[in-house]
Amino acid sequence: MELTLVQGDITEQSMDAIVNAANSSLLGGGGVDGAIHRRGGPDILRECRALRASRYEKGLPTGQAVATTAGRLPARWVIHTVGPVYARSQDRSHLLASCYAESLRVADELEAETVAFPAVSAGIYGWPMDDAARIALSTVLRASTSVVEARFVLFGAPAYAAFETALAGLRA
């Protein structure tokens, strides 16, 4: 698998699937979630509502992932995953790793070959970027998947630099 890092906006990526850092309501929010729903249009929210009514009446649990189509976005699918809120007093890194592993599992089910990820939990959910990057990259590098390209789309220079440093550390 090819793993790439780019600085940019995930809503502009022409990939088979883009991953959304959602919340368990699946009904939208701020950050990358807000951007995806804003640019993708109402079809995504309609499918999210249907998922809530059928498979996830209590919401999508933290660490899990589920797909919808991508509305007006250039991607084909959006894979919604729910990152853990960062807590200094409790190690939730297994849940953050699970977001990436489960997103790749859903991508495999969709036969998606190219997948773009944001830095899940590293915005509103408060995860320190360096640690979020290390968990994200090590999980994706370890995954057994048919995905051909995993692209991390980092919003801003500091996020990109943190991922670059973390990747160099993992490859050293």
Q: Which residues are designated catalytic?
A: 33
| Nearest to ligand AR6 of 73, 147 (CB atom) | 73
Kindly tell me the burial class for residue 86, based on how many C-beta atoms sit within 10 Å of its own C-beta (0-12, 13-18, 19 or more). Answer: middle
What number of CA atoms fall less than 13 Å from residue 24's CA on the CB side? 11
* CA distances for 50 relative to 33, 54, 57, 60, angstroms: 17, 6, 10, 12
The interface mask with ligand AR6, positions 13-32, x = CB under 6 A, is: --------xxx-----xxxx
| Nearest to ligand AR6 of 35, 140 (CB atom) | 35
The interface mask with ligand AR6, positions 131-170, x = CB under 6 A, is: ----------------------x-x---x-----------
The interface mask with ligand AR6, positions 56-85, x = CB under 6 A, is: ---------------------------x--
User: Under the criterion CB under 6 A, does residue 123 sit at the interface with ligand AR6?
Assistant: yes
How does 36-73 read in b/e, with b if 16+ C-beta sit within 10 Å? bbebbeeebbebbeebbeeebeebbebbbbbbbebbeb
d(CA 99, CA 103): 6
User: Under the criterion CB under 6 A, does residue 121 sit at the interface with ligand AR6?
Assistant: yes
User: Under the criterion CB under 6 A, does residue 109 sit at the interface with ligand AR6?
Assistant: no
Among the listed ranges 5-13, 41-49, 87-95, 143-151, the one in contact with ligand AR6 (CB under 6 A) is 5-13
